[in-house]
């Protein structure tokens, strides 16, 4: 299905009507029962399972707390896991099955390449997705609380130029996924505009056992920094191999690599040498203590880096439904764009022209000796960030 770019709420609502939102679509069949069924699409299996697990648990915690307070519209909330395995084909099959089973809402997916295929399916079924995709081509396909490429690339460029003072950068990027393709190109353009030399722009394919030859190739171009526009399995491995090879350039990993799995793959020592573009760690948002405590009590584990975003996404959707008086997309989409919301990730304001959060919560993080992410204070000072 062709991906539609919907840049204004009016266009989104018009498209919703054209796609049959007013015709009691199958996805909303669940709303006639005693429960509200919210799908959570994520990579629940496969190489990115660490991301998906944290996403699912964040949504489940939100549902449990909503249910303790009467649910949504007096109905209990059920989170329906939708496993896309970070693969578009798998995602389409899983999304269609979930839609057929009856959904009232959906949070996710995480991977942009998957979302380019599954988000239009949810919209056609009468849902308003609260997505976690970051590729700009998914603008308007629902709403999001997390950053987009046009917000991430400038932050990464500032970090490289104003913080690391890089004059030459080599970019290694995953050439198989939508997000990493687009963010690497956007960053390359941003850096060139800033006068930085791109010494190498090297594509890789995910799943390799080693990237040693790629590292040797880009290091030979004498960059000051090697930027890893990959997801965490590849980014963690490259960071690990750069340390093992005693590579002289600095390392910096992209937003796509931001996951607890990055540290697990790289190892603490290598992870500490490669700061990561991301969002504040779950415990670093203002007022996060109560949310982290609730998560730990429920799951006997620390939150995943995306747990706060799915937690807030479910609550954001629930608040919008209350204001719209239901899940009818023609009413819900405008209500969500006007919703004043505050949660684990802070206060949320949506730009109606894109359905995206403004301002974005992009930061640079370091890994401490315990293997935990924390906002890099030297980055914050160098770029004048509020965090």
Name the band, by pLDDT with cuts 50, 70 and 90, for residue 190: very high
**341-360: average pLDDT:** 95
Give the per-residue pLDDT at 372: 96
Q: Is residue 134 part of a domain?
A: yes
Residues 261 and 218 in one domain: yes
Closest CA to 106 of 257, 332, 279: 332
The phi, psi pair for 215, rounded to 5°, reads -60, -45
Classify residue 299 as exposed, middle or buried by CB count within 10 Å of its CB (0-12, 13-18, 19+). Answer: middle
Q: Is residue 311 part of a domain?
A: yes
Residues 263 and 181 in one domain: yes
Q: Is residue 4 part of a domain?
A: no
Evaluate if residue 14 carries a pLDDT over 70.
Answer: no
Q: What is the pLDDT of residues 116-130, one digit of tens each?
A: 999 999 999 999 999
**265-279: average pLDDT:** 98
Q: Tell me which of 161 and 25 has the higher pLDDT.
A: 161
CA dist 230 and 218 (Å) reads 15
Residues 268 and 255 in one domain: yes
Residues 105 and 33 in one domain: yes
Residues 204 and 316 in one domain: no
The model carries a pTM of 0.92
Residues 175 and 239 in one domain: yes
Residues 371 and 327 in one domain: no
CATH number (domain holding residue 203): 3.40.50.2300
Query: Quick check: helix, strand or coil at residue 117?
Result: helix
Give the per-residue pLDDT at 4: 34
Residues 66 and 157 in one domain: no
Which structural domain, as residue segments, surrounds residue 237? 149-278+363-383
Q: Tell me which of 298 and 29 has the higher pLDDT.
A: 298
Residues 254 and 368 in one domain: yes
**103-132: average pLDDT:** 98
Closest CA to 178 of 98, 57, 95, 91: 91
Q: Is residue 1 part of a domain?
A: no
Name the band, by pLDDT with cuts 50, 70 and 90, for residue 27: low
Give the per-residue pLDDT at 7: 36
CA dist 83 and 204 (Å) reads 25
User: What letter does residue 75 receive in the DSSP assignment?
Assistant: B
Q: What is the pLDDT of residues 311-340, one digit of tens each?
A: 999 999 999 999 999 999 999 999 999 989
Q: Is residue 289 part of a domain?
A: yes
Residues 139 and 13 in one domain: yes
Residues 18 and 131 in one domain: yes
Number of domains in the chain: 2
Give the per-residue pLDDT at 32: 59
Name the band, by pLDDT with cuts 50, 70 and 90, for residue 387: confident
Q: What is the pLDDT of residues 41-73, one digit of tens each?
A: 999 999 999 999 999 999 999 999 999 999 999
Share of the chain above pLDDT 70, in %: 92
Q: What share of the chain is helix, strand, coil (3-state, %, to 5)?
A: 45, 20, 35
Residues 60 and 182 in one domain: no
Name the band, by pLDDT with cuts 50, 70 and 90, for residue 386: confident
Mean pLDDT of the chain: 92
- Say if residue 109 is preceded by a cis peptide, omega within 30 of 0: yes
């Amino acid at each position: 299905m062709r991906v539609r770019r919907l840049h204004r709420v009016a266009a989104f609502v018009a498209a919703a009507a054209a796609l049959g939102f007013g015709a009691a679509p199958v996805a909303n069949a669940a709303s006639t029962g005693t429960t509200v069924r919210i799908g959570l699409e994520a990579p629940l299996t496969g190489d990115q399972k660490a991301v998906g697990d944290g996403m699912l648990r964040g949504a489940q915690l939100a549902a449990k707390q909503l249910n303790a307070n009467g649910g949504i519209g007096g109905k209990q909330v059920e989170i329906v896991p939708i496993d896309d395995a970070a693969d578009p084909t798998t995602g389409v099959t899983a999304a269609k099955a979930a839609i057929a089973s009856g959904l009232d809402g959906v949070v996710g997916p995480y991977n942009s390449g998957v979302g380019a295929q599954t988000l239009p399916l949810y919209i056609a079924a009468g849902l308003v997705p609260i997505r976690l995709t970051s590729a700009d081509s998914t603008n308007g396909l629902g709403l999001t609380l997390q950053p987009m490429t046009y917000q991430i690339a400038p932050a990464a460029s500032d970090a490289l130029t104003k913080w690391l003072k890089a004059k030459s950068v080599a970019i290694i990027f995953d050439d198989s996924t939508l997000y990493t393709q687009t963010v690497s190109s956007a960053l390359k353009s941003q850096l060139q505009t800033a006068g930085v030399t791109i010494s190498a722009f090297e594509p890789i394919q995910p799943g390799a056992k080693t990237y040693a030859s790629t590292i040797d190739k880009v290091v030979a171009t004498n960059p000051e920094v090697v930027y890893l526009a990959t997801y965490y399995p590849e980014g963690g491995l490259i960071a690990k191999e750069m340390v093992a090879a005693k590579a002289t350039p600095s390392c910096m990993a992209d937003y796509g690599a931001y996951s607890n799995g990055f540290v697990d793959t790289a190892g603490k020592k290598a992870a500490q040498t490669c700061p990561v573009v991301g969002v504040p760690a779950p415990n670093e948002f203002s007022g996060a203590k109560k949310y982290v405590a609730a998560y730990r009590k429920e799951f006997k584990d620390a939150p995943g880096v995306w747990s706060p975003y799915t937690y807030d996404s479910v609550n954001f959707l629930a608040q919008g439904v209350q204001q719209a008086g239901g899940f009818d997309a023609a009413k819900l989409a405008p209500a969500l764009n006007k919703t004043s919301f505050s949660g684990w990730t802070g206060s949320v304001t949506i730009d109606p022209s894109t359905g995206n959060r403004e301002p974005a919560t992009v930061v640079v993080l370091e890994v401490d000796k315990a293997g935990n992410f924390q906002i890099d204070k030297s980055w914050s000072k160098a770029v004048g960030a509020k965090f």
